[in-house]
Structure 1
Amino acid sequence: MLGNFTFSNPTKIHFGKNSIEKLYTELSNYGKNVLLCYGKGSVKKNGIYDHVTEILNKCGKNITEFSDIMSNPTLEKLNDGRKLAKDNNIDLILAVGGGSVCDMAKGISATAYCKEDPWEKYYIQGKEAEDKVIPVGCVLTMVGTGSEMNGGSVITNTVTKQKICAIFGERAFPKFSIMDPTYTFTLPRYQMVSGCFDVMSHIMEQYFSGNDDNVSDYISEGMMRSVIHSSLAAAKNPLDYEARSNIMWLAAWALNTLIEMGKSTDWMVHMIGEATTAHTDATHGMTLSAVSLPYYRYIMPYGLHKFKRFALNVWGVSPKNKSDEEIAAEGLDKLEEWMKKLDLVMSIRDFGVTEEMLDGIAKSALILDGGYKILSREEIKEILKKSLCA
């Protein structure tokens, strides 16, 4: 295992059925003014909103609501939340929802007292949080992003057509997250399988990098096998508590910085997928699924040893009488088979993308250098074209 690193994850997790009761204890640690963040209303339909507000009221909290947070949170919405938090002297931001709501909560947390342009400072320049940070707590209702246990916040700038993740660092990690797998039972299948692929993609983005014998890769292989098994079980029976609890726990550990230790990490699937989302407002996990296979098949020759290992250790491909290239290719074929079983989106044309849009999407994608191949804009366009034609 090469390289030096520092690992710290300060988020306290309350996991399992009825873990919402732990909210009483957590609220005693913060002041009276709570900003309650949630999405388009599903938490009201399933009763979670009523339960949370009942607890807040019993604890004597002043509730300021910030609702209608969209699945791809925008900079405009972030600015609304920043103003609301500052004007109401908020002591705790409580996110009740999925990754987008958690992302918005952390974005507000780290930027509410920023005197500069937060988009330029944190999303473009990539600085860690250095202004006053408002504590965040999460009540998770959808899994996939891992936002409940990290310091990142993904925001879309609708003017510049950019979707970027700011890494605010340890100060912006949620202080606590409440994770009850039963809260995910009512998710539509499309959202559930999208979240499952988001988890798988997070692991692959970190796995497909580096050439050393790294503990993180062994952990990742076990996690990927678990995602594959549990996602198929949940797709067959959405009320399978064991499968849903495994997926919820996997999502947190896939992106809580553990498996990136000692790794350069790739993240180009996310860069291309997020650029696609910025132009289409498509569901995040599905944009990842639509571009993953074209991307990985393109870079496979540059990281052949890792793709061979992926095929052998994750998918159980037999190496008998096969070249390294054939083994690696079969592993990606197995990945495709699993994706199709989950009915994941396999082409960006499903989001309304046309060939005329490819230049703009390719231009919006950030180019990173942690993977096995640094792409050019033309190569990104070719990958997008292969997805369009899939």
Structure 2
Amino acid sequence: MLGNFQYCNPTKLYFGEQSLTFLKEELQKYGPKVQLSYGRDSIKKNGIYDQVMELLKEAGKTVFEDPGVMPNPTVEKLYEGCKIARENEVDLILAVGGGSVCDYAKAVSVSAYCEEDPWEKYYERMEEVDNRIIPVGCVLTMVGTGSEMNGGSVITNPERKRKIGHVFGENVFPKFSILNPVFTYTLPKYQMVAGIYDIFNHITEQYFSGEDDNTSDYVMEGLMKSLIHSSRIAVADPMDYEARSNIMWTATWALNTMVEQGKTTDWMVHMIGQSVGAYTDATHGMTLAAVSMAYYRYICPYGLQKFVRFAENVWGVQTEGKSKEQIAKEGLASMENWMREIGLVMNLRELGVTEEMIEGIAEGTFVMDGGYKILSHEEIVDILRKSM
């Protein structure tokens, strides 16, 4: 493995069907005021809200509710959450929901006591946190982002048509996260498969970088193979606990910073997809799926050896009598077939993108330099057009 790195992950995880019982134990570590952040009505319909509220009550907490966190949390919602946290001097933000709610909670945690506009400071200028941080805990109800065990937080500014992620340091990681696979059962299929692809793309964003023999690549190949296997079972039977638990665990390890060690990482699919999301408010995993094949086929010649390895080790492509180019293309074809099989959106038009949006989406795309090709504006436009 190349490079020098430090590794620390301070988040404590509770996993399994009985994991929520440990919430009361964790709550004892914090003061009496809890900001409960969640989405819309789903956690009330499936009973998770009542279970969490009962534990908060038993722990003697005063709860300040912060509902209505949307799938792509907006800067306006961030300001609203900051006001609740600051005015009530909350001791803990408890996020109950999917990755968007966890992302939002972390954004509030660093922004509530920020003396400047947090959007400008943390998302435009990408500055580090130099103010009080409110601790965050998570009860996960949807898998995909890995936000339950990392410092990432993505916020959308609809007015500026920008969707930006900031990866904060370990002091912003959730202090604890509760992962009960059963809580994901009621998720609509569309959201489930979008989350599955978000997981897969988190892995490929890190995998398709570097040339060295890296332990992280072997780990990522195993994670991808597990995810592909479990995704097929979960699509056929969403109540299969083993499949859903494996998907949940893979999601956490895909983006808890472990497999990125020694990697330069790519992240261009995410940068393009997030810009698409800023224009359309489309489901995050679907924006990634819609642009992935055009992107990976474009950069394949620049990282050919890794794409050959991907074809062999992840998709089982037979190599005898084939050129490297043929092997790599066959691997990408296998990936595309799997994506279609599980029901992903495969083009941008289905997400509401029009030709008139393409220049703006490309302009709003951050260009990263860790992958096999640094893209120009014109190349991003070409990839977007090929994704239509």
TM-score, scaled to structure 2 = 0.99
Q: Does 1:379 align with 2:379?
A: yes
> Could you tell me which amino acid in structure 2 is paired with residue 221 of structure 1?
E
Matches within 5 A, 1:145-294: 145-294=145-294
What is the CA-CA distance between 1:352 and the residue it aligns to? 1.4
Partner Cα separation in structure 2 for residue 316 and residue 127 of structure 1: 43
Matches within 5 A, 1:1-390: 1-388=1-388
Partner Cα separation in structure 2 for residue 214 and residue 373 of structure 1: 20
SS of residue paired to 2:327: helix
CA contact (8 A) 1:294 1:387 kept: yes
> Could you tell me which amino acid in structure 2 is paired with residue 362 of structure 1?
A
SS of residue paired to 1:3: coil
> Could you tell me which amino acid in structure 2 is paired with residue 257 of structure 1?
T
Moved over 2 A (4+): 127-130
SS of residue paired to 1:259: coil
> Could you tell me which amino acid in structure 2 is paired with residue 366 of structure 1?
F
Worse overlay, 135-144 or 124-133: 124-133
Partner Cα separation in structure 2 for residue 359 and residue 272 of structure 1: 12
> Could you tell me which amino acid in structure 1 is paired with residue 96 of structure 2?
V
Listed as ranges, the gaps of 5+ residues in structure 1 are none
Partner Cα separation in structure 1 for residue 177 and residue 377 of structure 2: 39
> Could you tell me which amino acid in structure 2 is paired with residue 215 of structure 1?
T
SS of residue paired to 1:260: coil
Partner Cα separation in structure 1 for residue 134 and residue 127 of structure 2: 17
What is the CA-CA distance between 1:358 and the residue it aligns to? 0.5
Partner Cα separation in structure 2 for residue 27 and residue 214 of structure 1: 39
CA contact (8 A) 1:128 1:167 kept: no
> Could you tell me which amino acid in structure 2 is paired with residue 236 of structure 1?
A
> Could you tell me which amino acid in structure 2 is paired with residue 143 of structure 1?
V
SS of residue paired to 2:13: strand
TM-score, scaled to structure 1 = 0.99
SS of residue paired to 2:259: helix
What is the CA-CA distance between 1:351 and the residue it aligns to? 1.1
What does the per-residue CA deviation read over 1:186-245, in whole Å, with 9 as the maximum and x for residues that have no partner?
A: 100000000000000000000000111111111000000011001111001101100000
What does the per-residue CA deviation read over 1:361-381, in whole Å, with 9 as the maximum and x for residues that have no partner?
A: 111111111100000111101
What is the CA-CA distance between 1:257 and the residue it aligns to? 0.3
- Percent identity reads 63
> Could you tell me which amino acid in structure 2 is paired with residue 270 of structure 1?
H
SS of residue paired to 2:177: strand
Partner Cα separation in structure 1 for residue 264 and residue 274 of structure 2: 20
What does the per-residue CA deviation read over 1:41-88, in whole Å, with 9 as the maximum and x for residues that have no partner?
A: 100000000010011011110000000000000011001111110000
CA contact (8 A) 1:44 1:50 kept: yes
Listed as ranges, the gaps of 5+ residues in structure 2 are none
SS of residue paired to 1:137: strand
SS of residue paired to 2:218: helix
What is the CA-CA distance between 1:331 and the residue it aligns to? 0.3
Work out the number of aligned pairs and report it: 388
Over the residues paired in the alignment, what is the CA RMSD in angstroms? 0.6
What is the CA-CA distance between 1:130 and the residue it aligns to? 2.3
What is the CA-CA distance between 1:127 and the residue it aligns to? 2.4
Partner Cα separation in structure 1 for residue 273 and residue 379 of structure 2: 14
SS of residue paired to 2:387: helix
CA contact (8 A) 1:110 1:168 kept: no
What is the CA-CA distance between 1:125 and the residue it aligns to? 2.1
SS of residue paired to 2:116: coil
SS of residue paired to 2:209: coil
Partner Cα separation in structure 2 for residue 221 and residue 282 of structure 1: 29
